[in-house]
């Protein structure tokens, strides 16, 4: 039975996406000038990929796996009950909302609680869409900016003191730490929030328009949120303050970061590969017009300092593969860089999904695939395959560790 197939992903046209990168990657024209935000490669029911069978027939990946779950390998099928990850290409043109993801245990409780309350799965005020956690790892394809966890205490105090409008927050942070500070800001009435933010907005927006702010400065992103219409001066967004509270991380191509349960984060700009547990559970904390459930959010945020751990990948197979190992059993991400005629061999122990970001390769196993820029494949449990570069090529691989 063949276990090596070509795969077509699903495009998500979210409003924050870019207009050029993903269409160019996939060889598509964007005649309607739609935003192309994400390209999904997985079996998520909101956008399953298409698997191309040897006879040319097309089947949805979730259905294909559901009909023969043993193709994932017995351990993965018994532990996860399906493909445990979702693989994505992202093009972040506009800032995404601040998010926190629950642990698996809390996701199960939250999902059952909202079901008992009769909240429809697609309701705007629904927090939990499934019973799974949603850890995620990303690797930058271009320079990439994001928010990631609370600043260390000394740095946060320095920021509060240096930004005139924030100085009134120092006493609260000194007395009650991260939880007290964040809770106060998130629960503030809009009039109090507006009173604090109005002078800040009046100061930073002209500086942004005149090009006097730089991405290393939280004020740049705060003003940009206003310029992009994500936030409104008339109805200030609490997430604007979080930009000052969180680590502002700048990644270069090939660098990555892992987001675990409870770590507040937000993507700001850039293109990346993202690999996550197969879940849609998101608790939002601002920079959005979507539902923000403050009490539920406060239950899940990790109120501790975060020292960003930048991942550069562990070298495997000489210089060919960089593996970005994460502290979860759901997934592992690899970056494979092949020169012309250079080879990479691998044995799939569950289901590997690979996508060619640049170049072209020949894949040989139980079948043979010529893959070019933007094309993808899946190799199921027991498939031993060899990839040969037809020119210098960059590939990303999602797998189960």
Q: Which residues pair with 351 in a beta bridge?
A: 380
Cβ atoms of residues 54 and 377 within 8 Å: no
Strand partners, 146: 249, 267
Rounded to the nearest 10 degrees, how much is the dihedral formed by the CA atoms of 102, 104, 106, 108? 120
Q: How far apart are CA 320 and CA 187, in angstroms?
A: 50
Residue tagged active-site, from 104, 271, 284, 335? 284
> What is the spatial distance between Cα 266 and Cα 285, in angstroms, rounded to a whole number?
9
Is the dihedral angle over the CA atoms 252, 256, 259, 260 positive or is it negative?
A: negative
Q: What is the side-by-side strand order in the sheet with 360-364?
A: 343-347, 384-389, 360-364, 368-372
Please state, in angstroms and rounded to a whole number, the distance separating the CA atoms of residues 6 and 369. 7
Tokens 């939990």 sit on residue: 128
Which residues lie below 8 Å from residue 110, measured CB to CB, with a gap of 6+? Answer: 102, 127, 128, 281, 296
Are the C-beta atoms of 93 and 230 separated by less than 8 Å?
no
Residues 146 and 266: their CA atoms lie apart, in Å, by 6
Round to whole Å and give the CA distance between 136 and 376.
Answer: 20
Cα atoms found within 13 Å of the Cα of residue 272, Cβ hemisphere only: 27
In sequence order, the 6+-apart residues with CB closer than 8 A to the CB of 81 are 69
- Strand 50-52: give its sheet, edge to edge: 58-60, 50-52, 4-8, 376-380, 351-358, 393-399, 332-338, 321-324, 314-316
24: nearest Cα among 13, 15, 36, 42: 36
Neighbours of 18 (CB within 10 A): 20
Q: Is 284 a catalytic residue?
A: yes
CA separation for the pair 324, 346 (Å, rounded): 16
Neighbours of 367 (CB within 10 A): 16
Please state the φ and ψ torsions of residue 209, each to the nearest 5 degrees: -65, -30
Catalytic residue ranges = 284
């Amino acid at each position: 039975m063949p276990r090596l197939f070509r795969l077509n992903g699903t495009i998500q046209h979210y409003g924050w996406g870019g207009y050029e990168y993903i269409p160019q990657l996939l060889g598509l024209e964007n005649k309607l000038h739609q935003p192309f935000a994400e390209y999904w490669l997985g079996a998520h029911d909101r956008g399953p990929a298409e698997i191309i069978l040897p006879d040319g027939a097309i089947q949805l990946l979730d259905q294909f796996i559901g009909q023969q779950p043993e193709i994932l390998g017995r351990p993965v099928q018994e532990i996860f009950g399906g493909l445990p990850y979702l693989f994505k290409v992202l093009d972040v043109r506009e800032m995404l909302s601040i998010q926190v993801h629950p642990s698996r245990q809390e996701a199960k409780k939250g999902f059952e609680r909202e079901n008992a309350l009769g909240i429809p799965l697609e309701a705007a005020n629904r927090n939990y869409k499934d019973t799974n956690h949603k850890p995620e790892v990303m690797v930058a394809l271009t320079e990439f900016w994001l928010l990631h966890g609370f600043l260390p205490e000394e740095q946060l105090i320095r920021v509060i003191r240096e930004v005139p409008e924030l100085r009134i927050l120092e006493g609260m942070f000194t007395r009650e730490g991260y939880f007290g500070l964040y809770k106060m800001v998130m629960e503030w009435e809009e009039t109090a929030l507006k009173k604090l933010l109005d002078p800040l907005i009046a100061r930073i927006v002209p500086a942004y328009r005149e090009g006097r702010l730089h991405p290393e400065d939280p004020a740049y992103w705060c003003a940009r949120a206003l310029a992009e219409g994500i936030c409104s001066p008339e109805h200030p967004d609490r997430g604007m303050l979080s930009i000052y509270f969180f680590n502002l991380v700048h990644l270069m191509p090939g660098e990555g970061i892992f987001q675990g349960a409870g770590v507040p984060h937000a993507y700001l700009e850039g293109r990346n590969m993202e690999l996550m547990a197969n879940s849609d559970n998101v608790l939002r904390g601002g920079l959005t017009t979507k539902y923000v459930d403050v009490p539920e959010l406060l239950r899940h945020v990790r109120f501790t300092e975060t020292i960003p751990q930048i991942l550069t990948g562990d070298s495997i197979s000489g210089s060919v593969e960089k593996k970005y190992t994460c502290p979860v059993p759901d997934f592992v991400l690899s970056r494979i860089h092949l020169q012309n005629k250079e080879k990479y061999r691998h044995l799939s122990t569950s289901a590997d999904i690979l996508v060619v970001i640049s170049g072209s390769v020949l894949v040989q196993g139980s079948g043979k695939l010529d893959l070019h820029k933007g094309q993808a494949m899946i190799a199921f449990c027991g498939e031993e395959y060899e990839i040969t570069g037809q020119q210098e090529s960059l590939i990303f691989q999602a797998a189960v560790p």
